[in-house]
Amino acid sequence: MNQPKLLNPAWAAIPKPSRVRLVPKKKQGGQATAPNLTKASAPAKTKQQATLVEFGCVPIQRTFPPSSGTAPKGVATVSGNYVHTPKKSVLWGDPHVSKEDLQVNDWFRVCSQNVNGLSTRDEQVKMKLFSKTMHDDDVSVFGIQETNTNYENKYLKSTLYHHIAKVSDYSLGSVSSAPMGYSDGYQPGGTATFVRNQWTNRFLTSGSDSMGCWSWITLTGKGTTKVTFISAYQVCTGVDHATTASRTFRVQLEVQNTARGRKPCDLRKQTVTELLKFINSLKDDGQDIVLMMDANDTAGSGSLVDRLMVQGGLVDAHNLGANKGVTPPATYQRGSAKIDYVFITPRLVETVRAASILPICEGHPSDH
């Protein structure tokens, strides 16, 4: 991969990103049997090309910044809303791949994270911090959830695109936010999905759902290969009415009830139902899926996560390779289990080389 022309910026952070590396598997005769995204302008290579996908989810565990009592603009709410502890965190899964190794091996990296809001005030500091994080790790595709940004505000939408563009050679993306009709910049929920640098040559289409629950981009690979990357957010259940999540829940529930003629609606189940319809329509078109999701749910019999995997024909990428059968850490600061997932279609399983969750204090400040 070509290195971005900007110097690596310094960034302070606190996440738990996870990642999955994809490598095309060859069968006898040299024909690739798994989807492979390659650069449109890349010359022929004698060695087999590999793609890397890196995903992230981030719990905050310490005061930001570590040595002072004053948080920088735009990050004050993060420091104030949560009780930070110096809990030790270590890498879970496979070793983190350096930016240099990405470039040498021509890997494709994807990062996903619930960012717990991108500041719309204070000079958009959190947007800048996140953009720098994507640059530092040379991320090719990223999906973020709970951006808490009103994307109907054209200025804020263009501001996010601008910050991503400043740390990228090229960039394209899609955003989603719930239809709340807010006049200011803050709006609960929302997602964004972006592709960066030379991989924009493979961009095919993008979009979002009407409820603001997910956004997506579709890239083309060799031949007829198409891979759609989806960033999705599932609202919490049983939360206090004063919280951001419950406000998102109530508004989305109202919209759903109106659309259904005021009939009772279990929003969480309905969200999964609509997401499954979308995923299966893409699969019917021959596409592969990478679903990056804050599910606010744990896997288990009867769970919405299991329903997604069974009815959508998806695989949890964190349960592959050396990680198979190993219990992953909690991906939410105040939780005790993994609620953030990376799901992929079976054909992509053949290409997975590694999956991991990065330690706390690496990446973008958030509570996931």
Whether 154 and 98 have beta carbons less than 8 Å apart is answered as: no
pLDDT at 64 over 50: no
Average pLDDT value for residue range 220-248: 79
Location of structure tokens 């990478």: 290
pLDDT in the model for residue 10: 28
Domains located in the chain, CATH noted: 52-357 (3.60.10.10)
- The segment with the largest mean pLDDT, out of 77-86, 225-234, 264-273, is 225-234
The residue to which tokens 């310094």 are assigned: 10
Q: Measured on CA atoms in the order 338, 339, 342, 345, is the torsion positive or negative? A: positive
Average pLDDT over residues 296-300: 91
Which of residues 322 and 7 earns the better pLDDT score?
322
> How far apart, in whole angstroms, are the C-alpha atoms of residue 118 and residue 120?
6
What pLDDT does residue 262 have? Answer: 64
The region, left, alpha or beta by phi > 0 then psi within -120 to 50, assigned to residue 302 is: left
**What pLDDT is stored for residue 50 in this prediction?**
29
Please list, residue by residue across 95-109, b when 16 or more beta carbons sit within 10 angstroms of its beta carbon and e when fewer do.
Answer: ebbebeebeebbbbb
Give me the residue label for tokens 């492979």. 36
pLDDT band at residue 361 using 50, 70 and 90 as cut-offs? low
Q: Tens digit of pLDDT for each residue in 176-219?
A: 988 776 677 888 889 999 999 999 999 999 999 988 899 999 99
Rounded CA gap, 309 and 228, in Å? 16
Per-residue pLDDT band at 323 (split at 50, 70, 90): confident
Angle at 240 between CA 238 and CA 246, to 5 degrees: 75
**β-bridge pairing 288-294 and 110-114:** unpaired
Helix, coil or strand: residue 15: coil
pLDDT in tens, 13-42: 323 334 444 444 444 454 444 444 444 443
Q: How many other CB atoms are there within 10 angstroms of residue 88's CB atom?
A: 8
Least confident segment among 27-31, 164-168, 291-295? 27-31
Q: Helix (H, G, I), strand (E, B), or coil: what is residue 191?
A: strand
For the whole model, what pTM was predicted?
0.77
**CA atoms within 13 A of residue 127's CA, in its CB half-sphere:** 21
Contacts of residue 289, Cβ cutoff 8 Å, sequence gap at least 6: 227, 228, 230, 279, 282, 283, 312, 314, 343, 344, 345, 348
